[in-house]
Chain A
């Protein structure tokens, strides 16, 4: 059964870069059907989509974060990654990786990782 697992530092200093990796297990990230995405949730608040990537490398991002976000994929490791630059306390959140079908009519998140809390603090 396909599973997603986030990993990375739980504490990042202000102005630095947040880096997270999502490892896909039990299946291949190189599926032609799916995109792989990042979503975050500040403590006690709602969900915000960050960006998505196809195994071939095509990406698209939330316009409000686009200038600071890079999502990349490493098919040899069955992983995809998130980099968020110039972080502030407002970037403190639980970060989830998730999967969504690539069809225009099916872009809902049908499989999620457990999430990882990243705190931005000096």
Chain B
């Protein structure tokens, strides 16, 4: 299986901050990476697919980049609604794996 490692595990930030979350794959996954946002008690919500394409309705303050083994999710100016847990997921192989999650907390 391809292992996905996110960093940091927890991130404390303030409204208006620019934040970046990193996801590393144990082998190349080309651009086949998605990012999800999950709020407590809710299902994950797709933000980005193919590493950098925003899903419909996702605010433009979210962006994704990377290819191969290293990827980033950036939120350009944090809004109160953005405090949540974020997961990456690879779909390069027929055995999908997720990162362990990054919890974005209010500082």
Contacts and interface: CB of A to CB of B under 8 A. Distances in A.
A63 B43 contact: no
Contacts, number: 55
A43 to B, nearest CB: 11
B1 A107 contact: no
Interface of B: 1, 32, 34, 36, 42-46, 49-50, 55, 87, 89, 91, 94-101
Nearest to B43: A112
When A and B form their complex, which 5 residue pairs have the shortest distance between CB atoms, in order from nearest? A108-B34, A112-B43, A107-B91, A47-B98, A49-B96
A76 interface: no
A105 B46 CA distance: 16
Interface in A59-95: 60, 62-64
Nearest to B93: A107
Given A108-B34, A109-B34, A46 B98 contact: yes
A46 B100 contact: yes
A100 B99 CA distance: 18
A115 B98 contact: no
B43 A113 contact: yes
A108 B89 contact: yes
A49 B98 contact: yes
A96 B100 contact: no
